[in-house]
Amino acid sequence: MTNWAKTFLQPAKEFSLTTLPLISGTIPTELRGSLYRNGPARFSRGEEKIGHWFDGDGAILGVHFTSEKVEAIYRYVKTEGYLKEEKADKFLYANYGRKALFKPVKNAANTSVLALENKLLALWEGGHPYALNLDNLETKGEDNLDFLKSNQPFSAHPKIDPDTGNIYNFGVTVSNHGILNIYQCNCQGKLIKQTATKLIGFPLIHDFVMAGDYLIFFVSPVRINLLSVISGLKSYSDSMSWKPELGTQILVFNKHDLSLISRGETEPWFQWHYTNGYVEKDGSVMVELVRFENFATNQNLKEVGTGKTETPAKGSLYQIRIKPENAQVLEINKILDNPCEFPIVSPHLVGKKWRYTFLSLHRENADISQEILGEIGVYDHKTNTLSRVNWAENLYPSEPIFVPKPNEIEEGWVITVVYDGHNDNSQIWIFDRNNLSEEPLCRLQLPSVIPPSFHGTWQSR
């Protein structure tokens, strides 16, 4: 058994607000605010195990940095499905990787978080968010944000415009074909505008990108057979087909009125996540993403939930330049061949040109069919160089979160949650952005193991 697999053997243990002991180093004096992370944390009920990593019940880690101390809290999102299954001690619902005849799909609330002024939203792309208290992570309940209809999801990758504070997100409505709903909200989550666009078939869309005045979707050639899902014959995951003959569809929207500007088509690939996008001086749009050549990544992620992976799935960092007026692809360039995922930029540069891409990486020479992501790094687009943390064996970091210093844009800290497979514990590591290859500025001990999680955010206080 690989060391990371131990995190999947038992349900993660909640802990109440706890002051974190310092293992080494010094906490940066200017670091004030809260780190929130979300990810699957319960992988079995009774004797039955989940069908896919995406099925695990979501749990939120909150880490609060003040001038006096650092405190952390870890709690499950108490969704309706979680509470009923907890009482029954068995699975009661269908899910992404679990089929169930005539059973509704459980909202796992396990993918990402959005911190608003007065609440934290636990996000899951198949349904509404769940609202939590920002401090003690108490679950307040499902939240329709006063505008979402019952069949309108609010997906897990909202984009926040750094100039206006407006929040952009989407959700795909299930019907005989997909309907792409796009939402524009203010910084409080109140709706400004929404539109609906018909899709070709019912695709899997996990993320999108903001680039200047545009919102762009690359719709990969994965199609879902809804009849097999509704009938209970197959799970969502097993109902998905890779159809490269369809190519990748490109949809370009106006960010301000959400109108569809253009549709296009290019070669097939799959992506879960985008880094960012921006408008070039000539009016073309540059988009960066982690590209997979096929949909084997879905099987790989399914196997992660079992603690034993066999299917390799290599994602590489690409840049794609398009003409927004007709969605024509002008260039496709691989800029980093090292297997990677979870790319992010400074929150001040969302939709703008940036220099540093922070991302998770596989260790050099790692067997990607057996190992999960085991390093973090930063790619410098000015020098075309990759700096990476020199990790010891059996340490597994989560997605890096970049926190800008006060009044800075790309100077700051990189925070990650690290699972120590040697000692079976989890820690918070904080790095200077300029010295990722050096020792962390500090390490903090968490009270219990945090399983590998998906996405997080930082809220300054």
How much is the average pLDDT of 423-445?
94
Q: What percent of the chain has pLDDT over 70?
A: 100
Question: Out of 6-15, 108-117, 364-373, 439-448, which region has the weakest mean confidence (pLDDT)?
Answer: 364-373
Of residues 389 and 163, more confidence is placed in 163
How much is the average pLDDT of 439-448?
96
pLDDT for the residue 321: 98
pLDDT for the residue 102: 75
- Beta pairing partners, 440: none
pLDDT for the residue 2: 77
CA 128 to chain centre: 16
Whether 397 has a pLDDT exceeding 60, the answer reads yes
User: Token match 């300029």: residue?
Assistant: 434
- Spell out where 186-229 has E strands: 191-198, 209-211, 214-219, 222-224
Residue 348 belongs to domain spanning:
3-460
- For the chain, state the CA radius of gyration: 21
How much is the average pLDDT of 343-354?
98
- From the list 350, 457, 461, the residue with the least C-alpha distance to 123 is 457
Give per-residue pLDDT as tens, 183-211: 999 999 999 999 999 999 999 999 999 99
pLDDT for the residue 438: 87
State the sign of the Cα–Cα–Cα–Cα dihedral 294, 214, 349, 208: negative
CA distance 53 to 186: 33
Whether 1 has a pLDDT exceeding 60, the answer reads no
pTM: 0.97
Give per-residue pLDDT as tens, 33-44: 999 999 999 999
How much is the average pLDDT of 86-102?
90
- From the list 458, 452, 459, the residue with the least C-alpha distance to 59 is 452
How many C-beta atoms lie closer than 10 Å to residue 114's C-beta?
24
pLDDT for the residue 141: 98
CA distance 54 to 240: 15
pLDDT for the residue 85: 96
Domain at 306, CATH number? 2.130.10.10
Determine if residue 23 is left, alpha or beta; phi over 0 gives left, psi from -120 to 50 gives alpha, anything else beta: alpha
Question: What letters, b where the CB count within 10 A reaches 16 and e where it falls short, cover 180-211?
Answer: bbbbbbeeebeeeebbebebebbbbbbbbbbb
* 422, two tokens: 């040697």
User: Token match 């001990």: residue?
Assistant: 445
How much is the average pLDDT of 245-262?
98
- From the list 71, 147, 158, 65, the residue with the least C-alpha distance to 111 is 158
* 219, two tokens: 């719709």
First and final C-alpha spacing in the chain: 42
Mean pLDDT computed over every residue of the chain: 95
- Beta pairing partners, 314: none
In the 8-state DSSP scheme, what is residue 227? Answer: H
How much is the average pLDDT of 370-380?
93
Give per-residue pLDDT as tens, 399-414: 999 999 999 999 999 9
pLDDT for the residue 99: 86
pLDDT for the residue 373: 92
**Burial category of 72 from C-beta neighbours within 10 Å (exposed 0-12, middle 13-18, buried 19 and up):** buried
Q: Write phi, then psi, for 348 (nearest 5 degrees).
A: -75, -10
CA distances from 448 to 161, 196, 219, 430 (A): 35, 43, 39, 18
Give per-residue pLDDT as tens, 262-295: 999 999 999 999 999 999 999 999 999 999 999 9
How much is the average pLDDT of 240-246?
97
Q: Cite the DSSP H helix spans in 286-442.
A: 296-304
pLDDT for the residue 247: 98
Question: Out of 279-288, 383-392, 403-412, 424-433, which region has the weakest mean confidence (pLDDT)?
Answer: 383-392
- Neighbouring residues of 309: CB distance < 8 A, sequence distance ≥ 6: 300, 303, 369, 370, 371, 372
pLDDT for the residue 246: 97
Give per-residue pLDDT as tens, 284-337: 999 999 999 999 999 999 999 888 899 999 999 999 999 999 999 999 999 999
Q: How many domains does the chain have?
A: 1
Question: Looking at the chain, how many residues does it have?
Answer: 461
CA neighbours within 13 Å on the CB side: how many for 237?
21
